Amino acid sequence: MPKGMVVIDKDRCKGCGLCVETCPFGVLVISPEFNRYGYNVATMGAPEKCTGCGMCAQMCPDAALDVYRAVKEGV
Amino acid sequence: MKVLLRGNEAMAEAAIRAGCRCYFCYPITPQGELVEYMARHLPRHGGVFLQAESEVAAINMVYGAAAAGVRTMTSSSSPGISLKMEGISYLAGARLPAVIVNVMRAGPGLGNIAPAQGDYFQATKGGGHGDYRLIVLAPSTVQEAAELVMLAFDLSDRYRVPAMILADGMLGQMMEPVELPEPIPPGRIPPKPWALTGAKDRAPNVVSSFDLDPYRFREILRALWAVYREIERNEVRWEEYATEDAELVLVAYGTMGRICRTVVRRARKEGLRVGLFRPISLWPFPYAPLRRLAERVPVLLTVELSAGQMWEDVRLAVEGRAKTPFYGELGGVVPTPEEILSEVKKHVRG
Amino acid sequence: MSVVETKVPAGFVPVYTRPKSLSDKRFTYCPGCHHGIITRLVAEAIDELGIQERTVGVAPVGCAVFLYEFFRCDFAQAAHGRACAVATGIKRANPDLIVFTYQGDGDLAAIGTAETIHAANRGENITVIFVNNQIYGMTGGEMAPTTLPGMRTVTTPEGRDVRTTGYPLRISEMLAQLDGPTYITRQAVFDVRHVQMARKAILKAFRNQLEGKGFSLVEVVAACPTNLRIPPAEGNRWVKEQALKYFPLGDLKVRD
C-alpha cells in the first residue's frame, strides 16, 4: 500500500506540469487524456511512489490537488 | 431658529444631519469652507473625515465607504469634479448611493475661481464614460442648498443612484440665515442588504460594475434604466414664479435663478409681464412642465452662466412651441439684473 | 461542477485540501500562472485565521479581475489602480472588517502608484497583495513599470530600453522608506520552499491587520509564462534567474 495519494480535480487541472516538475519521486505525469476544457491533465503515473508529502499541491496554481497520507498501522 | 451660514457650511452641516458618516475630500476653491467645516464637525459626530491625495482617490474612497453601506459624500469644484468622473461612472455602474457636491467655477481648464455654470452637460448627461445618469439638484439659496443635500442622500439611497448637488461659487461663498433641517431620525436610512458587511450567514455580496457577457450586461443596464425612468416619473422638481399671465418667462437655475427672480420683480414694477421658471432637478429635467408653459407663453428666455448648456434641454422641452432666445455670460462674469432686464426688453413691449 | 476522479480509500488522512474560503469556481488564470498559487495562499491565510465571514476583498483590473468569483467573501470591484483607495473607504467605514486588495504591477505600480503610496503612508490598516509579474498580462503582454531591462514585450519589441522607458520600479523599496507602513516584504513562489515563505508572509500581513498594526504589503515576484512565451516550468526558472536580479527577496520593513 502506498504511503500517500494525490486526488486530482481533473476539471480544474490545466496541465501546466508544475506538480510534475515539483514532485521529488516522479509520481505525477501529464496524461494524454483531455478534460472537458481541452487540457491534458495530471495523473498519478507511479502511485506506489507517493509519500503524501504535499509538495505538488503547494505548487498547484489551480488548487486542483488534494493530498492524503496513509495512517500508520497500529496508530 | 435661524443661523447665519455660508452655502458651503450649510451643505456640510446638512450632510451631517442627513447621517453622512464618511466624507472624503481634496482641497479646491471655491468649496474650501465645506472641507473645513467637515474637518471640524464630522469627527464629533463619530464620522470619518479624510483628506485624500487626489480627487481620484477621494471618489474611490467614497466608492469603498458606500459599498460598506455607510452614507458618504465628497465635494469639489469643476476641475476636481472632472477628476472624479471615473469614480462617479463606477459608482453609477455598481449602483452605489453617494452624494457629490460640485461648487462650480469657470472653465475649461484651470479657468478661474469665479462662479459659473459650465458643468451642466457634465453633470446631467453623464460626464464619465458609459450609459448612466446622476440625480442632479441645483439650489438657488443657502436654505435650499441645505434642504437639497438632505434630499440628495434620501433619493440616492432610495434608488441606489449617485446624486450630485450642482451649486456654484457664489452660492458656496454667500452667507444667509438658514433654518437648518432637523437631523434624520434613526431608521430613516433604508436597510442595505447588498452592502459589504462580511459574508456571515449569507452568500457573498459583490459590488461591481463589471460583466463580460454583453447579454447579461444589457439586462443589468435595462434594469438601471428602468430605475432612471422611475426617477423621471417621481422626482422632477421645479419652481414657477409669476408665470400665470407672463408674456416672457426666464428659465434659469441656481444662482442665475436667484438673480432672475430679482429681474422679474423689477420688470413687474415697470409693467412688464415677466415670470420665472426655475428647474430644481436638472436631471430629471422638468421637460413636461416647461412644455406646458410653452403652450401659453410666447417667449422663454434662458439665462445661464455658460454659453448655453441647459438651453439645449429647454429647446428639447419646448420643441418650437415658443421662441427660445438665450442670454449667457462667460468666464465667471455674473450679469447684473439690469443687464438681464435690458435683454428681456428686446423680446417684450411694456 | 468539479468531478473528483478518485475516492479516498479508508486508512488515509488529508495532508492538503483545497481551502474552504475558495468558491467552486475554476480560476481563470492561464496554465502555470503564479497568480493561481498566490490566490490560493490568500485563501489559506483567511482559512487559518478563521476570518472568512468578516473579510472583504478588493478586486483589481487585470488578470485577477474575477477574483471576487474565486472567494466565498464579500468583494468590491475597483477601478484600475484605485484598490487601495477603495479599501481605505471600506475599512474606515467599518473597521471591524478585514480588508485586502490584490493587485498586479500595472494596477498597483503604474496607474495606482499614488493611491498605493498614500494608503501606505497613512498606515491604513489594510493588507495589500502585490503580484509583480513584470508585464500587463490581461491586455496582451505590454511593458509594465516592473518590466526588466532588455525584456521583450509587445510594446518593447526590441526589449525594454531604459534610456527611453526607464528602469524597473521597485515599489517595495520605495514604500519601505516611509514611516507609515508596518510590514513590507518581497516574496516569490517559484518553488515549494518559497511558496511556504510567501504563505507565512501573507499570513503575517493579515494577522497584522487583525492586531490593528497598520499597512502591510506582500509583493510576490511572479511569472507570466503565457506572455513570456515559455512553458510554465521555465517560468519558475525565469523568476529565479532573471527577475530576482532586479527584485531581491526578503523583508524590507518590519515594525512589530
Residue C1: band (very low, low, confident or very high) from pLDDT cuts 50, 70, 90: very low
Say if the Cβ atoms of C90 and B60 lie within 8 Å: no
Whether residue C5 has pLDDT greater than 60: no
DSSP state of B44: G
Closest residue in A to C236 (Cα) is A18
Flag whether residue C47 sits within 8 Å of chain B, measured between CB atoms: no
Does some domain include residue C61? yes
Instruction: Give the residue-averaged pLDDT of C119-136.
Output: 98
Q: Which three cell numbers stand for residue C216?
A: 502591510
B279 membership: H or E segment, kind and range: strand B274-279
C135 φ, ψ (degrees, to nearest 5): -160, 155
pLDDT of residue C33: 98
Would you list which residues of chain B are within 8 Å, Cβ to Cβ, of chain C?
21-22, 24, 48, 50, 52-54, 56-58, 60-70, 72, 86-87, 90, 94, 196-201, 204-210
Enumerate domains of chain B plus CATH numbers. 2-190+221-234 (3.40.50.970), 240-345 (3.40.50.920)
Whether residue C248 has pLDDT greater than 60: yes
- CA torsion, ordered B335, B336, B338, B344, to nearest 10 deg: 40
In whole angstroms, give the CA distance from residue A25 to residue B87. 52
pLDDT of residue C7: 63
pLDDT of residue A73: 63
Residue B324: band (very low, low, confident or very high) from pLDDT cuts 50, 70, 90: very high
Residue tagged 451660514 (cell numbers): B5
Identify the segments of chain A with pLDDT beneath 50. 75
Say if the Cβ atoms of A9 and C191 lie within 8 Å: no
Radius of gyration of chain B (CA): 20
Does some domain include residue C191? yes
Looking at the partner chain, which of A10, A63, A68 has a beta carbon nearest the beta carbon of C40? A63
Flag whether residue C19 sits within 8 Å of chain A, measured between CB atoms: yes
In this prediction, what percent of chain B has a pLDDT beyond 70?
100
Does some domain include residue C18? no
Q: Say whether the A–B interface has 3 or more Cβ pairs within 8 Å.
A: no
Rounded to a whole number, what is the largest CA-CA distance in chain B? 73
Residue among C237, C239, C189 at smallest CA distance from C36: C189
pLDDT of residue A75: 45
Q: Which of residues 114-153 of C touch B (CB under 8 A)?
A: 114-115, 117-118
Q: CA of A64, closest CA in chain C: separation in Å? A: 7
Q: How many residues does chain A have?
A: 75
Q: What is the pLDDT of residues B286-317, one digit of tens each?
A: 999 999 999 999 999 999 999 999 999 999 99
Closest residue in C to B48 (Cα) is C92
The CATH number given to whatever domain includes residue C155 is 3.40.50.970
A to C CB pairs, distance under 8 Å: 114
Q: What is the pLDDT of residues C9-50, one digit of tens each?
A: 788 999 999 999 999 999 999 999 999 999 999 999 999 999
Does some domain include residue C15? no
Q: Which three cell numbers stand for residue C206?
A: 493579515
DSSP state of C156: B
Whether residue C4 has pLDDT greater than 90: no
Enumerate domains of chain A plus CATH numbers. 4-69 (3.30.70.20)
Q: CA of A23, closest CA in chain C: separation in Å? A: 10
Helix (H, G, I), strand (E, B) or coil at B53: coil
Q: CA of B211, closest CA in chain C: separation in Å? A: 10
pLDDT of residue B186: 79
Looking at the partner chain, which of B54, B61, B200 has a beta carbon nearest the beta carbon of C88? B61
Look over chain B and give the mean of its residue pLDDT values, rounded to a whole number. 97
C143 membership: H or E segment, kind and range: strand C142-143
Domain that holds residue C57: 34-254
Number of compact structural domains in chain C: 1
